Amino acid sequence: MSIERSSGILLPVFSLPSKYGIGTLGREAYAFVDFLAESAQSYWQMLPIGPTSFGDSPYASFSSFAGNPYFIDLEMLMEEDLLDRKDVRHLKVADPADIDYGYIYETRFDVLHKAYERGVKGDLSGFVEFKRENADWLEDYSLFMAVKKHFDMRSWIEWPDEDIRLRKPEALADYREMLKDDVDFYSYLQYLFARQYAALKQYAHEKDIKIIGDLPIYVALDSADCWADPDQFQLTSVNVPREVAGVPPDYFSEDGQLWGNPLYDWKRMKKDGYRWWIRRINGSARFFDVLRIDHFRGLQQYWAVPYGDTNARRGRWMDGPGLPFVRTILKNCPEVEFIAEDLGIISEDVDKLLADSGLPGMKVIAFGMEAYVPNRNTPHNFIRNCVCYFGTHDNSPIQGWKATTSKKDMDYTRAYFGIRNDREFNYKIIAGAMASVSNLVVFQMQDYLNLGEEARINCPGTLGNWKWRLLRKQYDHKLAERIAEMTKIYGRK
């Protein structure tokens, strides 16, 4: 692991403060980079940043390559004269600490279309060059979105025109011509996103901040990835899944988790040296310095659930591509740093895959505080080549966890971290993690703010997530100084 002893903060882009209902790549993103630098942090960990579908999960995106149009900053577009103040005057935010995805979906694209109308001709050469450089994914993605819009945003599995659903050449040409304006609109949104993101990433690097992103192991069924490359997935002759992804019953859910993603045809992928994966990872590397491979254990074995089931109980374990795949990726993507998300039900085979790969795994302190029970997630059992969290975006912040933990485990936690005063509860745990041998420590922003369950990002298996937002008044120079002092005490920068 080339990540040196350091620390970072996890905060999704959508959680940033902003005037228009959701975090963006604008001024507040730059302010957060400044805060990270002042706090002596080395990493900003984000969640996936792709365009989201029903349920608003960043892990169910319309594309592995595209950026979320909601993150395009409207203030920046106004500075470029692509929008006027009157274009955004009608936008309302009922609660600055929450995200109303329905309202944003209904209003944001009309506003962005005005920017497209003003900008596409004014910067035609730049737009044309962007389309040329990204043609390997952008053409399919933009046509996919245009056809979805044409069919009232229905999943491509349900498109009434079988010819375009199955990508017959004549249908592709006909729809590309018929929906030309919408195709260009969706392409232009990616042009705007890419420009704004590249500027933010450069600013972060100037402040010595690297960005950690997520590489979800699966893509969404309703995605340009699956529609454009159906032969990479386990689909029937009419492009319908035989089985879909999930995880078996565990500590999160007695029914398991039915993700519904299409499963890969690993045997076919192996024949061409996993080119699809290499292309996907290199696409993600445009945005991120480090990629967290979500559900790493699925590369060893994955849970396959019959398509149409309503829960994941009837799934079965199937063999994944294993170490040859990991080595192929590492060889062909040498500039990318990786973190392996090795959580869940972990077998000896998965442990061996992680060890043989040399990648850092994850330790989650919230899973290691069962009183006096040997556990790899308890800090004294950490190794250097790992990334330590108290909890991920799927867990409660520290204060939410504290409110629901048993007295026995809470007494153990207090004794373990030397907690004598509830006012210092979070920071005693943060200090304990910082003092560990783990090369990298990442805490959620909520933990530095002493926030509880109300600030949880995601509760797996439920709807209504991905809505928590940071308020600008919640963090300041005083907080940055406290974090920086702790970071330096434990030699993390």
Domain boundaries, the chain: 6-62+208-489
* pLDDT, tens digit, 9 for 90 and up, residues 438-485: 999 999 999 999 999 999 999 987 889 999 999 999 999 999 999 999
Q: Is pLDDT of 252 > 80?
A: no
The per-residue pLDDT for 343 is 86
- For 354, phi then psi, to 5°, come to -65, -45
For residues 309, 313, 314 and 315, what is the CA-based torsion angle, rounded to 10 degrees? Answer: 100
Q: Is pLDDT of 250 > 90?
A: no
The per-residue pLDDT for 460 is 84
Residue 341 bears catalytic tag: yes
Q: Is pLDDT of 1 > 60?
A: no
- Give the CATH number of domain 6-62+208-489: 3.20.20.80
Predicted TM-score of the model (pTM) = 0.96
- In terms of DSSP bridges, do strands 243-247 and 301-306 run parallel, antiparallel, or are they unpaired? antiparallel
For the record, the structure tokens of 288 come out as: 């991120």
Res. 249 pLDDT band, cuts 50 70 90 = confident
In this structure, how many other beta carbons lie within 10 angstroms of the beta carbon of residue 94? Answer: 8
The per-residue pLDDT for 384 is 96
The per-residue pLDDT for 463 is 86
The per-residue pLDDT for 344 is 74
For the record, the structure tokens of 203 come out as: 């600013």
Q: Is pLDDT of 254 > 90?
A: no
Those residues with Cβ within 8 angstroms of residue 85's Cβ, 6 or more apart along the chain or in another chain: 78
Q: Is pLDDT of 145 > 90?
A: yes
Res. 93 pLDDT band, cuts 50 70 90 = confident
Amino acid making up residue 463: L
Res. 373 pLDDT band, cuts 50 70 90 = very high
Contact 10, 444 (CB under 8 A): yes
Res. 310 pLDDT band, cuts 50 70 90 = very high
Quote the longest CA-to-CA distance of the chain. Answer: 72
> Which of 165, 180, 136, 189 lies closest to 25, judged by CA?
189
> Which of 479, 482, 41, 462 lies closest to 252, judged by CA?
462
- Look up tokens 């520290």; give the residue: 398
- Burial of residue 283, with CB atoms counted within 10 A of its CB: 0-12 exposed, 13-18 middle, 19 or more buried: middle
Q: Is pLDDT of 201 > 80?
A: yes
Mean pLDDT of 69-83: 97
Contact 364, 391 (CB under 8 A): yes
* pLDDT, tens digit, 9 for 90 and up, residues 97-116: 999 999 999 999 999 999 99
> Which of 449, 442, 443 lies closest to 472, judged by CA?
449
Mean pLDDT of 244-250: 89
Contact 390, 377 (CB under 8 A): no
Q: Name the active-site residue from 100, 250, 394, 453.
A: 394
Amino acid making up residue 202: Q
Q: Minimum mean pLDDT among 236-245, 253-262, 360-369, 476-485: which range?
A: 253-262
Q: Minimum mean pLDDT among 93-97, 228-232, 414-418: which range?
A: 93-97
Amino acid making up residue 95: D
Mean pLDDT of 174-185: 98
Q: Is pLDDT of 408 > 60?
A: yes
- For 431, phi then psi, to 5°, come to -65, -40
Q: Name the active-site residue from 243, 341, 342, 447.
A: 341
Q: Minimum mean pLDDT among 77-86, 121-130, 158-167, 194-203: which range?
A: 121-130
The per-residue pLDDT for 461 is 76
Q: Name the active-site residue from 140, 182, 222, 294.
A: 294
Contact 46, 291 (CB under 8 A): no
The per-residue pLDDT for 311 is 94
> Which of 347, 221, 225 lies closest to 296, judged by CA?
347
The per-residue pLDDT for 346 is 76
Residue 34 bears catalytic tag: no
Residue 294 bears catalytic tag: yes
Q: Is pLDDT of 7 > 60?
A: yes
Mean pLDDT of 225-252: 92
